[in-house]
Every structure is written in structure tokens, then in C-alpha cells.
A = this chain, B = another copy of it.
Amino acid sequence: MKKDITTEQKIKDAARKVFMTKGFSGCTTREIAKSVGINVALLNYYFRSKGKLFELILEAALSDFINSMVDVFKQDLPLEEKTRMLIDKEFEFLRKHPELPLFIHAGLNQESDSELDQSNFLGRLHETGIFEECEKAQSEGRMRKVNMINVTLLFMSNCHFPIMSKKLICGIYQIDDNEHNARLTEHQEIVKEMLINYLFPNTNKHA
């Protein structure tokens, strides 16, 4: 009888958790094995090496990260509504996986750039038609004319950074988790209004 959760999957889950919090060189294969409750050798039996396992986890993390974006872009909604929804979904997703942004950035520094290539990030974005949608809105004057890379930066900066800077912010302002959560919840609304106002200046004027 097969276990519903295979050993291979259990290792992946544990590796994800450990890698996320400690980074590639911040942990050992024995640490991962121990947290699953198996022998170290099994890790090399299923995955060929620590590096291969890490690549797998990083790819999966990138994939999760892309999917959370693509899902929104595929929605049939006006651009402004997509913007709001994207920010909401990003905050929701990242608050559930707060280690993810820092892990991805640190991980990309460690690994070669191959992971990003094979994740086909750009291709999957193009498939959603979001670029054409923005281009159209920009030429019609509904959206501010800003390079899409800068638009991406605006969104990611304001969604990712607040999550990944938790330790720094809590350390600086001497606040606890509760207060930080409250600030995040408020920040989500701030970012929505600020970005909408900036990118769609004509649409969203309130007296």
C-alpha cells in the first residue's frame, strides 16, 4: 500500500521550508533529512544532490510566484480593476508565504540564471495579453505612459518589499507582529490608491 504522501514529496516539503528560512548554504542535507525523519542518503537517492534539490525548490517557488500574477491578468476585468485585484492577490499570497520574495532574490544570486530562463516568465506574461492591454490603454490616454518594466517595478516594489522587510521594520520601530500586521493591512490600501492614482490619473479623481 502506498502512503498518500510519498517520501519524495515529504523531502520536498521539508527542503522547501528549510531552504526558505535558511537559504542554500545556510542549512545542511542532514538538517533537512532530520526534519523529515529519514536517513541522509535518501536525499541523494531521490534527488541527485543538494544543489539539484535546491534548484527544484527555487523553480517551484518561481512558479508559484508567477502563477499568482498570471491568474489575475487572465481575468476579464477593466484594467483598473485588474490593478486592484493584482495588489490584493499579491498581498494575500505573500502574507501566506512571507519568506518567498527574499528566498527568490537570494536564491537567484546563488544560482546561475538558468532558472529564470526555463520558468518562461516573460512568455507566460505575454500569453495573458496584459502588455497589449496596457499598450492600448496608454495610447488611449487612460493609462500613464510608463515603460512596462517600470510598471512591473512599481507593483513588485510596493507589494514585495513591505513583506520582506518585516524584520527590518519591526527592528527599527520596535513593533510586534500584531502591529506589523496592522501596518501591512493599511499599506495594502495605500499602495492600491497610490498606484491607481499614478497609473490612471484621469479615472480616479475624488474631490
| Chain B residues whose CB sits within 8 angstroms of the CB of A110 once the complex forms | 26
Contacts A121-B172, A161-B157, A168-B108; is A190 near B150 (CB within 8 Å)? yes
Supposing A146-B190, A158-B157 touch, asked if A171 and B117 sit within 8 A by C-beta, the answer is yes
Q: Tell me whether A147 is interfacial, beta carbon within 8 Å.
A: yes
In the bound complex, what is the Cα–Cα distance between A157 and B186 (angstroms)?
A: 15
Q: Which residue of B lies closest to A159 (CB)?
A: B157
Size bin of chain A's contact surface: 35 or more
Copy number of this protein in the oligomer? 2
A38 within 8 A of B: no
Which 6 pairs across A and B sit closest by C-beta, in order of nearness? Answer: A116-B171, A157-B161, A194-B198, A108-B167, A161-B161, A25-B26
Tell me the A residues contacting B by CB distance below 8 Å.
21, 23-26, 102, 104-106, 108-110, 113, 116-117, 121-122, 125, 146-147, 149-150, 152-154, 156-158, 160-162, 164-165, 167-169, 171-175, 183, 186-187, 190, 193-195, 197-198
